[in-house]
Amino acid sequence: MYTKQDEQRLYEQAKQLLSSNVADAGRQADQLREVINYADWKYYVQSDPALSDFEYDSLFKQLKHLEDKYPELVTADSPTQRVAKGLSERFPTVSHLVPMLSLDNTYNAEDLTDWDRRCRELAGTDTIEYCVEPKYDGASISIIYDNGHLSRGATRGDGVMGEDVTANIRQIKAIPLSAELVKQGISQIEIRGEIVIHKSVFEAINKQRVAEGQSPLANPRNAASGTLRILDPAEVKKRGLNAILYHISDYTLNDGAQRPEGLNTHYGSLQWLYSLGFPTPAKEMKRFSHIEDVIKYCSEFEEIRDTLAFEVDGLVIKVNEFALQDKMGMTSHHPRWAVAYKFKARQATSKLRRVEFQVGRVGTITPVAKIDPVHIGGVTVTSVSLFNEDVVREKDLRIGDTVLVERAGDVIPYIVKPLTELRNGEEEPIVFPKTCPACNSELEKQQDEAAWRCININCPVQVVERMIHFASKDAMDIRSMGNANVQKFFEDKILLDIPGMYHIDWDRVQQLGGFGEKSVTNLKQSIEQSKVQPLNRLIFGLGIRHIGETTAKTLASAVSDITEFYSWDIEKLSMLEDIGPKVATSVVDFFARPENRAMIEKLAASGVNLKNEHKGQMKTDGELAGKTFLFTGTLSQFKRSDAEARVEAMGGAILGGVSSKLNYLVAGTDAGSKLEKAKKLGTVNILTEQEFLSLIEGA
Ligand code: IVH
């Protein structure tokens, strides 16, 4: 849709329009429309706003003003003409074939024993076979197949009507778009299930969000249900949702068709669906004929809940025979033939006593709620991050509030909401500090950011946090350094800054006490070893804002020495894969600062590797010496790794992205954005695979 260059240009165009007028009203209106459309795309489709609300509103007002003044300038597709229809076009509402009921809950053995007794009374039998399966914590959906084709997918909504999210459901690879249902005699079927997000995918999304300065999503359930409602199916696809189907709510047989054999029991129906390619808990479900065995299984399963790939908040126990289910029927809220056994709550209430403001590595001030200790899922929680001021305002949190705290699985605890009905009028607002709690410097807030920041580079907390980050496992991996040691060395003035790690006065360390010879030797050794870490680890370790591990790798592979970045500008950085204006600006700012350059010089003087190993190994005498290559698209005669190895063997180097440093781009079939970039740049020699072959053979 928009290339990196488009984005860069439009971002700058927006900034320019905010600060000055264009002489020609027609051109100004065109430019405004272009940037507003771009901002809409970023906001609604990418969920990654390019402009602050204030900036967006002023641009919109400018355009409205111009169009009011010169009505001949209005175009049919102007963003001002969309307002009547409403930008946040919702999904259409649809009726479920059968209302989506919820389940009655049980919490202990006694509840289950009671439920079993009622079931046997209702069924009029002594024993009932139960089927037990996980209760997945995601977003419930209903999907319909007509003549074997997925025809509709809807959210639960109010149970009777839901939102039609078919386009998004179609992005979920676990859900077949068609199945051999007609052969099975089924003309229409409605299946219920849960959209879930893999815990590891959830963690990856949050890691990315935090690295980009956004607040993390609360739990996998919210991430799944939020994703299901994203308006752009392509974005949904990227999020890697999964699905588990656990109930057939309705089906119609073809004229004269026999009911498939499996459709007599719940167990059979999920096996049957599974055999047709549907994701069901076929492997996880268990059958029991005595409630004591169900109870035993429930407590065993609760123990292993954290080892599962998806968040599970309980088990569901269902009467297995469909004939019995029909006999037992349902109340207006839930079926009588099924019940949920809920695991111990991972939510609890507590009192919000005060809010501390913590200073992060890059100066971000994070409000942290201090609450009365509360046990949630085997852990005592006393501190809960509130992320930023916007979160506090949105939730309307106040000191003295009773708050609902949730801890989903391994996910960090968060405050769901204040229980406003329990307020007594003595609650006090949370006041954000104007100055840094660590160094007292005035805090700043950028217009497009939610967080306040301390911009004092020498703020002691930031200095310590930067050193901790530098030494951390994913950065320079100075094993024995640890948070406590950094803190202690800093307090004792043994360690004042990152370069100081390589000049520790070991006599003083030994005087400190608590450090045996062995620990000193280990520490010395891990410091020494860190000097040869690859460049990407150093770049990550420097703690440049918005630079996560992946971006650090991209940056490292673009240079042969870190100091090359001293002369890189935003434009050049933006040419690299996945680097946008925000990240590029941050990199330029970092390397422009004299104190950062001084730090890099000191590291170099201590023998820390500043070079890109990959390029360091570059042969200077090969036929391709000094030449840089990048492969894109599919090659037919080589595996990409083999082609790259050929280049390197001949002294050439492989780059990570298209930049002005790139000499040759070898474009296979289906080459995409890299090829476009290279063409635009105009300085790159673009080769077909055949041309590349002749080059290396003729070289
Ligand atoms: S059976 C009539 N089975 O839990 C059948 N529900 O609290 C009703 N859920 O709305 C659903 N895992 O969204 C069923 N294995 C499972 C489930 C499950 C999760 C959800 C479902 C339901 C909610 C009830």
User: Atom 15 of ligand 1 has which residue's CA nearest to it?
Assistant: 135
CA–centroid distance, residue 98 to ligand 1 (Å): 14
Is the minimum distance from the CB of 337 to ligand 1 under 6 angstroms? no
Cα separation, 548 vs 469, in Å, equals 12
Is the minimum distance from the CB of 193 to ligand 1 under 6 angstroms? no
Sheet holding 402-406, edge to edge: 379-385, 365-376, 347-359, 402-406, 414-418
Is the minimum distance from the CB of 105 to ligand 1 under 6 angstroms? no
Is the minimum distance from the CB of 464 to ligand 1 under 6 angstroms? no
CA–centroid distance, residue 181 to ligand 1 (Å): 24
Non-local (6+) Cβ contacts of 192 within 8 A are 100, 140, 141, 142, 245, 246, 247, 248, 249
pLDDT of 615 strictly over 60: no
DSSP state of 46: S
Pocket test for ligand 1, best of 96, 98, 101, 103 (most atoms within 8 A of CB): 103
Nearest by Cα to 441 from 453, 430, 428, 451: 453
Q: Is 392 helix (H, G, I), strand (E, B) or coil?
A: helix
Q: How crowded is residue 693: how many other Cβ atoms within 10 Å of its Cβ? A: 17
Quickly count helices (H) and strands (E) in the chain. Answer: 25, 24
Nearest by Cα to 338 from 190, 96, 116, 136: 116
Beta bridge partners of 191: 143, 248
Express as a percent the part of the chain with pLDDT over 70: 94
User: Atom 9 of ligand 1 has which residue's CA nearest to it?
Assistant: 135
Pocket test for ligand 1, best of 140, 245, 305 (most atoms within 8 A of CB): 140
Pairwise pLDDT comparison (675 vs 604), residue with the higher score: 604
pLDDT of 234 strictly over 90: no
pLDDT of 510 strictly over 50: yes
Q: In terms of DSSP H, where are the helices of 333-395?
A: 389-395
pLDDT of 594 strictly over 70: yes
Q: How crowded is residue 232: how many other Cβ atoms within 10 Å of its Cβ? A: 16
Task: Take residue 362 and report the two structure tokens written for it.
Answer: 């890059």
Pocket test for ligand 1, best of 101, 141, 194 (most atoms within 8 A of CB): 194
Nearest by Cα to 94 from 191, 160, 187: 160
CA–centroid distance, residue 376 to ligand 1 (Å): 23
User: Atom 17 of ligand 1 has which residue's CA nearest to it?
Assistant: 135
C-beta of residue 229 within 8 angstroms of C-beta of residue 241: no
Nearest by Cα to 374 from 335, 404, 343, 400: 404
Cα separation, 182 vs 149, in Å, equals 10
CA–centroid distance, residue 135 to ligand 1 (Å): 6
Is the minimum distance from the CB of 577 to ligand 1 under 6 angstroms? no
User: Atom 12 of ligand 1 has which residue's CA nearest to it?
Assistant: 135
Phi/psi of residue 250, nearest 5 degrees: -165, 145
CA–centroid distance, residue 102 to ligand 1 (Å): 6
Cα separation, 336 vs 85, in Å, equals 44
425-464 pLDDT, tens digit each = 999 999 999 999 999 999 998 777 778 999 998 999 999 9
- The model's confidence at residue 697, banded by pLDDT at 50, 70 and 90, is confident
Pocket test for ligand 1, best of 160, 225, 228, 246 (most atoms within 8 A of CB): 246
Per the annotation, the verdict on 173 as an active-site residue is no
CA–centroid distance, residue 184 to ligand 1 (Å): 26
pLDDT of 157 strictly over 50: yes
8-47 pLDDT, tens digit each = 899 889 988 988 888 888 999 999 999 988 887 766 444 4
Is the minimum distance from the CB of 248 to ligand 1 under 6 angstroms? no
Is the minimum distance from the CB of 341 to ligand 1 under 6 angstroms? no
Cα separation, 660 vs 169, in Å, equals 42
367-379 pLDDT, tens digit each = 999 999 998 877 8
pLDDT of 328 strictly over 70: yes
- pLDDT (mean) for 397-424: 87
Task: Take residue 176 and report the two structure tokens written for it.
Answer: 């077949």
CA–centroid distance, residue 319 to ligand 1 (Å): 14
CA–centroid distance, residue 153 to ligand 1 (Å): 16
Among 93-102, 189-198, 514-523, the range with the most confident prediction by mean pLDDT is: 189-198
User: Atom 23 of ligand 1 has which residue's CA nearest to it?
Assistant: 102
Is the minimum distance from the CB of 59 to ligand 1 under 6 angstroms? no
Is the minimum distance from the CB of 139 to ligand 1 under 6 angstroms? no
Confidence (pLDDT) at 516: 85
CA–centroid distance, residue 225 to ligand 1 (Å): 15
Non-local (6+) Cβ contacts of 30 within 8 A are none
Is the minimum distance from the CB of 195 to ligand 1 under 6 angstroms? no
- Using a 10 angstrom Cβ sphere, with 0-12 exposed, 13-18 middle and 19 or more buried, the burial of residue 373 is exposed
pLDDT of 110 strictly over 70: yes
Cα separation, 489 vs 427, in Å, equals 41
Sheet holding 286-288, edge to edge: 105-106, 338-342, 312-319, 130-136, 286-288
Is the minimum distance from the CB of 194 to ligand 1 under 6 angstroms? yes
CA–centroid distance, residue 105 to ligand 1 (Å): 11
Cα separation, 116 vs 319, in Å, equals 10
Q: Is 349 helix (H, G, I), strand (E, B) or coil?
A: strand
- pLDDT (mean) for 621-640: 81
Q: How crowded is residue 230: how many other Cβ atoms within 10 Å of its Cβ? A: 20
User: Atom 6 of ligand 1 has which residue's CA nearest to it?
Assistant: 135
Ligand 1 atom closest to 281 (CA): 15
Confidence (pLDDT) at 83: 40
Cα 126 to chain centroid distance, Å, stands at: 50
Is the minimum distance from the CB of 312 to ligand 1 under 6 angstroms? no
Among 323-332, 386-395, 546-555, the range with the most confident prediction by mean pLDDT is: 323-332
Pairwise pLDDT comparison (551 vs 496), residue with the higher score: 496
Cα separation, 561 vs 423, in Å, equals 59
pLDDT of 359 strictly over 80: yes
Q: How crowded is residue 699: how many other Cβ atoms within 10 Å of its Cβ? A: 12
- The model's confidence at residue 81, banded by pLDDT at 50, 70 and 90, is low
Is the minimum distance from the CB of 246 to ligand 1 under 6 angstroms? yes
Angle value at C-alpha 655, between 652 and 659, nearest 5 degrees = 120
pLDDT-wise least confident of 47-56, 395-404, 420-429: 47-56
Confidence (pLDDT) at 214: 65
Of the residues 4, 42, 135, 611, which is catalytic? 135
Which residue type is seen at 52?
S
Q: What is the DSSP string of 564-632?
A: GGGG--HHHHHTSTT--HHHHHHHHHHHH-HHHHHHHHHHHHTT---B-HHHHT--SSSTTTT-EEEEE
- pLDDT (mean) for 295-308: 91
C-beta of residue 220 within 8 angstroms of C-beta of residue 414: no
Ligand 1 atom closest to 330 (CA): 2
Non-local (6+) Cβ contacts of 8 within 8 A are 570, 571, 574, 580, 581
